[in-house]
Structure 1
Amino acid sequence: MSWLLNLYETYEANLDRVGEIERKHNTQEFTLLPISHTTQNAHIEILVTEDGEFHSARVIDKDDASTLIPCTEESASRAGSKIAPYPLHDKLSYVAGDFVAYGGKIKKEEPFTYYIQQLKDWANSPYAIQKVKSIYTYLSKRQLIKDLVEEKILWLDEEGKLIEKWDKKYESFIGDKPSIFSVVAGGQESAFIRFNVHSSNEILTHVWKDQDMYKSFIQFYNDLLSDNDLCFVTGKSLPSTERHANKIRNAADKAKLISANDTSGFTYRGRFNKSNEVASISYEASQKAHNALKWLINRQGKIVDQRVFLVWENNGQRIPDPTADAYDTFPSSSSVDTKVEKRSFTNQEFANEFAKALDGYRNKLSSKANVNILIVDSATTGRLAVLYYRNMDKELYLNRLIKWHSTCVWMHRYRKNNNNEYVEFLGAPSSKDIAFAAYGPKASDKIVKGLMERMLPCVIDDRNIPLDIVRSALLRASNPVSMERWEWEKTLSVACSLINKREGYRVTLDTKNNDRDYLFGRLLAIADVLERQALGREETRASNAIRYMNSFSKHPARTWKTIQDSLQPYQARLGTKANYLSSLIDEVASRIKIEDFNNRSLSGKYLLGFYSQRHELYQKKDKKVSNEGVTN
């Protein structure tokens, strides 16, 4: 129950944010829901006066459809033909007293009877505010559809019945297709109605955003709850529930994390007689925990193919994401390498710089703060499972991030800043970029989410990266002709990060490293830079070193002879300008032992030597070599 308890405590720590409207980057609104409330997409908004008279109505745009509505246990989990009205806003068949008179179809009993009785109880309770009474007064007149037809919101056929589905034959007496048929997926009968109250004296808060409305229903509904039992989450004796929330990942999500309706299956049969003997959870704890989870997912969760990756701290402070790259993890957009690059880079130096960058997060968290990591996904439409959960001390978590970004580290240049310019940054790549490097940019979401889950223990538990992932990225990075230049450069730097995690090399060129594979990689880089220098800025074709890279990784000695033979025309073209690079080839090749100069395939270390040597040459201003060609 630890994840439920931490979600419950998160809700308790953020009570001041309940009902507060927040926006995502795409302007979609979300909020920390009050208990006994949920969200629903509404299609029609009806405005009534404080005296309970019809004022006006409109069809709601899709961007404004999300509505916070009160709900009961029964209505939150209603399905099929079951009659379980929402307390205030609901479908047309529930809120319209004249629904049957206008041809509305009902299977058994009329839902309006149950709806209006429940609303009456609320309106007559000591907790009801004027808005509830105004809406009840209007709806009890049973003329909602009549008013909507006169307002030209709903439309009738020749027989005076609600049009089930729009057809071109109605254009003869209606005209163009009314907007209601564009926002409702089914017929007009399935339209969801929300209510608002109009005042001529003052501007009233929208009903679905009114804190007093929330409190009114919560107090009313709490008096209806009974059957106290021991809550396994809070340890208190409180009214229990067997109906738990859905719509966890989005408004259309039907999957539940907790469910006990399989009385004839094998969920608990043979061990317990009743579901509450397995675990009893109070209504309050269930509501607060699920609402906190919904809020956190909207606020900072990552969703890949409906799998949720969530990291949070109970007090609501922002926490660095373990699946993000170093560029996103730093509090500012500036990269750390500006200071480190001038020195002889080591992992420890970068770890120190990274630790300083994380101090902003560290200082905001309380001394007792814990970090929660949660992964949830659904195998079926109705069941949501917790695939992974960890609760960690904040210091341990941040130290693991520092170690991850300072060991799985390399120089990357595939991110853009606010000016849409490519920037270099040091650190680990994101889990999603690792997936694309290993399996290609067209990898399915199923593959990506699976890899992201496998990489999480590598970050927060300091485990080794699975060999199949490293091997796949190495093979793709060794085959540059199979992809676009930008894609290969990104794949190369990500692959170097993964290999460096296992090898522990420096990012800057290690001129004292005499490892055979590292030296072969350096030779390949020098050959590439020399040919690019000879070709100049105008020529964009791949060099022979790049073209033969895949073969070189498998048969280095044999392929190097082919590459070196192809370099001779370019060395002749450059003349004395090629002296430095030619002598560098001789110097690096001379350090390879005779017995190691063979066709044994190269390990991933050759990529580290290739990348570091090439980067070093491109940065040498005194030799006037750039990655564009010759610099005059």
Structure 2
Amino acid sequence: MGWLLDLYETYEANLNQVGNTTGQEMTLLPISHTTQTAHIEVRVTPNGEFHSANVITDKNDAITVIPATEKSSSRSGKVVAPYPLHDKLMYVAGDFTEFGGEIKTSENPFSVYINQLKDWVESPYATDQVKSIYKYLQKGQLLKDLINEKIIWLDENGKLLSKWGKKEGKPPIFSVVAGGQESAFVRFTVRDSSKTVDKKVWEDSGMYQSFIQYYNEKLEEKELCYVTGKHLPYTERHANKIRNSADKAKLISANDKNGFTYRGRFSDSKQVATISYDVSQKAHNALKWLINKQGKIIDGRVFLVWGNDLKEVPDITDDGSIFAYDEIVNEQKAIVSTSQYDAEQISRAIDGYKAKLAVGDKVHILVLDSATTGRMAVLYYRSLDKSYYLDKIKEWHTSCIWLHKYRKDTNEKIKPFIGAPAPRDIAFAAYGPKASDKVIKELVERMIPCIVDGQKIPVDILRSSFYRASNPVGMKDWEWEKTLSIACALINKSEGGYSVALDKETNDRDYLFGRLLAIADVLERHALGDDKRATNARRYMNSFAQHPARTWTTIQSALQPYQARLGEKVWYYNKLLDEVGSKIRLEDFNNKPLSGKYLLGFYSQRHELYQKKDKKSISNDIN
């Protein structure tokens, strides 16, 4: 029950946000309320007369906060369970059947709806707005008024038109409803002509409290709440619409009393656990709000990181660009950066978050997914001290660190950053850009313990990234460059101790072979000029990783025409080839497959060479 308690406490800590409508799909809902997509807005006068109506064509404006009972929140099939105020035509229109509306239930939906609304109106908590709407609806002429307003349309027999058959002049109602007109959802408000502006019913905090107070008196049976430890009115019906307004999956459900639900252990669901209505409502509403506000959803799987106080914290699904500092935007400064320097910059950013900490601050990590349309499960949950969480984030971004220069999307300007790649980008490096969301979400979940608990990166992810980075043939340049930098970050995390700045002192065999390959690549690319064909270094890269000594002989032979084409400029590269080659011990110059370190040497050597953009810098090195 820990995640429920943390969500409940988050709701209690953000009561000032309840009901704030900002045009988002999901606000922090009041208890006993939910959201629905409305299709028609009906305005009535304070005296209970029809004022006007319109079809809601703006999808953002259509999301409406509505009061809801336990039954109406989970209604399905042929169950008659009206919402207390706003609802579909079959519930709110007393003349629904007069115009061909079909009712497939034994009970009349309008009768149940209007009696339920009457009970609210007659309570001491009813507002004038509720009374005005009730006074109008009890006349039973809503459909007639909507037809007169040309909101609802009839066929030649005076019955509800099922669909618009013409190509031209399509009325708005047929564009906003998924089915026929009878499925339209109607919301109500009161329009007082004497006022310049009226508070919309679904945005009025007074209306929220009116229904909450009224409905709370209907909840009588109390049980021990397993979350708070108090005896409170309990519920067996828990919220759905967790990920979006069409989501039917529930986190808590025990409505199947047949078959093997309890496996002979219990006679009813209360023997398993009881959760109070108040806790269930607040926890689920907080979860919906947080997911909409800051959750990441991949193929239906939710990855959510939050603190009760909602102070900003780095997300485990973000990359190192969230710690971007001014120096790394400048390529000349990026080349001289060391792992110690980069780590210091990230540490400073983390310290900025820590400076805002209060005693007892927590960070919660929650992963949700549903195997069926009706059931959802908690796949991962951790509640951590915020200081500990920030230390783990710092450890991840200072150990799985490399220079990245890829776009987040094709329309975004390249902004270099130093740090760890995002888990989703790791999936890109391991499985390619065409990896399905199902594969991506599984990898992201597997990476969470690596970030939060410091576990080793799974070997299969390391190998896959390494092999793809070693095989640039068949990839576009941007795809390979992105794969290469991410693979380097993962290998650096696994091997440890390297930075983007070239390590000229190391005599590690694999690192040196990588440097040789980079020099050959840049030499040939320099000779090719505007010719964009792949260099021999890249073409043979995969073979080079498996048989470095043998393949290097082939690459060096293929370099000769390009060395001749460069003229005097080639001496710098030749000198560098000799310098690096001489560091490889004779017994190490063999065909033993290279480890991931060769990619680090390749990247760092190539990166340094590309900084030498003018003849003067090269000639200075020669001298």
Same fold by TM-score, threshold 0.5 exceeded? Answer: yes
Partner of 1:268: 262
Return the match for 1:239 from 230, 233, 252. Answer: 233
Contact 1:263–1:269 (8 Å) recurs in 2 = no
Kindly state the Cα deviation for residue 577 of structure 1 after the two structures are TM-superposed.
Answer: 1.1
- Matched residues in 1 for 2:380 and 2:409: separation? 33
Count of matched residue positions in the alignment of Structure 1 and Structure 2? 614
- Matched residues in 1 for 2:429 and 2:576: separation? 31
Matched, 1:479 2:471: yes
Percent of aligned positions that are identical? 65
Moved more, 258-267 or 205-214: 258-267
Return the match for 1:52 from 48, 51, 54. Answer: 48
Question: For the aligned residues, what is the CA RMSD?
Answer: 2.0
SS in 1 for 2:405: strand
- Matched residues in 2 for 1:418 and 1:177: separation? 37
Q: Deviations over 1:499-532 (max 9, x none)?
A: 1111112221111111111111000000111111
Moved more, 56-65 or 495-504: 56-65
> Structure 1 residues 419, 468: CA separation in 2 closer, same or farther (over 3 Å shift)?
closer
User: 1:438-587 alignment to 2 at 5 Å?
Assistant: 438-504=430-496, 505-536=498-529, 538-587=530-579
Return the match for 1:123 from 121, 124, 128. Answer: 121
- Matched residues in 1 for 2:586 and 2:219: separation? 84
Q: Deviations over 1:256-277 (max 9, x none)?
A: 0000112113332311111011
- Matched residues in 1 for 2:229 and 2:494: separation? 46
Partner of 1:630: none
Partner of 1:103: 100
Kindly state the Cα deviation for residue 179 of structure 1 after the two structures are TM-superposed.
Answer: 1.6
> Structure 1 residues 549, 215: CA separation in 2 closer, same or farther (over 3 Å shift)?
same
> Structure 1 residues 385, 419: CA separation in 2 closer, same or farther (over 3 Å shift)?
closer
Q: Deviations over 1:429-473 (max 9, x none)?
A: 001110011101011000010100001110011010001001111
Partner of 1:41: 37
Contact 2:327–2:334 (8 Å) recurs in 1 = no
Moved more, 386-395 or 56-65: 56-65
Kindly state the Cα deviation for residue 367 of structure 1 after the two structures are TM-superposed.
Answer: 2.2
Return the match for 1:299 from 271, 293, 304. Answer: 293
Moved more, 346-355 or 105-114: 346-355
- Matched residues in 2 for 1:419 and 1:273: separation? 59
Q: Deviations over 1:332-383 (max 9, x none)?
A: 6746576995796554443322121123322233221010000000000000
**Paired residue type of 1:517:** D
Matched, 1:90 2:81: no
Partner of 2:612: 620
Moved more, 417-426 or 105-114: 417-426
SS in 1 for 2:533: coil
Partner of 1:222: 216
> Structure 1 residues 263, 420: CA separation in 2 closer, same or farther (over 3 Å shift)?
closer
Partner of 1:361: 353
- Matched residues in 2 for 1:608 and 1:623: separation? 26
User: 1:311-460 alignment to 2 at 5 Å?
Assistant: 311-327=305-321, 329-330=322-323, 334=326, 341=333, 345-415=337-407, 420-460=412-452
Contact 1:230–1:236 (8 Å) recurs in 2 = yes
User: 1:142-291 alignment to 2 at 5 Å?
Assistant: 142-168=140-166, 176-202=169-195, 203-291=197-285
SS in 1 for 2:280: helix
Ranges in structure 1 where 5+ consecutive residues have no aligned partner: 627-632
**Paired residue type of 2:508:** D
- Matched residues in 1 for 2:22 and 2:588: separation? 62
Contact 2:160–2:181 (8 Å) recurs in 1 = yes
SS in 2 for 1:442: coil
Q: Deviations over 1:214-252 (max 9, x none)?
A: 011000100111111111111111100000000000000
Q: Deviations over 1:255-300 (max 9, x none)?
A: 0000011211333231111101111100000000000000000000
Q: Deviations over 1:294-336 (max 9, x none)?
A: 0000000000001000000011222211111000x22x67465
**Paired residue type of 1:148:** L
**Paired residue type of 2:392:** R
- Matched residues in 2 for 1:501 and 1:334: separation? 24
- Matched residues in 1 for 2:139 and 2:269: separation? 43
Partner of 2:77: 80
**Paired residue type of 1:534:** A
- Matched residues in 1 for 2:516 and 2:540: separation? 13
Q: Deviations over 1:74-94 (max 9, x none)?
A: 000000000100000000000
Contact 1:429–1:497 (8 Å) recurs in 2 = yes
> Structure 1 residues 340, 176: CA separation in 2 closer, same or farther (over 3 Å shift)?
closer
Q: Deviations over 1:113-153 (max 9, x none)?
A: 11001111111111111110110000000000000011011
> Structure 1 residues 133, 624: CA separation in 2 closer, same or farther (over 3 Å shift)?
farther
Contact 1:45–1:195 (8 Å) recurs in 2 = yes
> Structure 1 residues 236, 581: CA separation in 2 closer, same or farther (over 3 Å shift)?
same
Partner of 2:621: none
Partner of 2:136: 138
User: 1:20-31 alignment to 2 at 5 Å?
Assistant: 20-23=20-23, 28-31=24-27
> Structure 1 residues 343, 551: CA separation in 2 closer, same or farther (over 3 Å shift)?
closer
- Matched residues in 1 for 2:378 and 2:411: separation? 40
Partner of 1:69: 66
> Structure 1 residues 336, 35: CA separation in 2 closer, same or farther (over 3 Å shift)?
farther
- Matched residues in 2 for 1:75 and 1:164: separation? 26
Kindly state the Cα deviation for residue 420 of structure 1 after the two structures are TM-superposed.
Answer: 4.8
Report the TM-score when normalising by structure 1. Answer: 0.94
Ranges in structure 2 where 5+ consecutive residues have no aligned partner: 619-623
Return the match for 2:602 from 600, 603, 610. Answer: 610
- Matched residues in 2 for 1:335 and 1:365: separation? 27
Contact 1:46–1:56 (8 Å) recurs in 2 = yes
Moved more, 414-423 or 295-304: 414-423
Matched, 1:10 2:3: no
**Paired residue type of 1:529:** V
- Matched residues in 2 for 1:34 and 1:187: separation? 31
SS in 2 for 1:22: coil
**Paired residue type of 2:100:** G
- Matched residues in 2 for 1:564 and 1:535: separation? 16
> Structure 1 residues 368, 339: CA separation in 2 closer, same or farther (over 3 Å shift)?
farther
> Structure 1 residues 604, 343: CA separation in 2 closer, same or farther (over 3 Å shift)?
closer
> Structure 1 residues 343, 65: CA separation in 2 closer, same or farther (over 3 Å shift)?
closer
> Structure 1 residues 80, 86: CA separation in 2 closer, same or farther (over 3 Å shift)?
same
- Matched residues in 1 for 2:158 and 2:92: separation? 20
Contact 1:417–1:423 (8 Å) recurs in 2 = no
**Paired residue type of 1:41:** T
Contact 2:335–2:500 (8 Å) recurs in 1 = no
Contact 2:67–2:208 (8 Å) recurs in 1 = yes
- Matched residues in 2 for 1:556 and 1:518: separation? 12
- Matched residues in 1 for 2:405 and 2:580: separation? 27
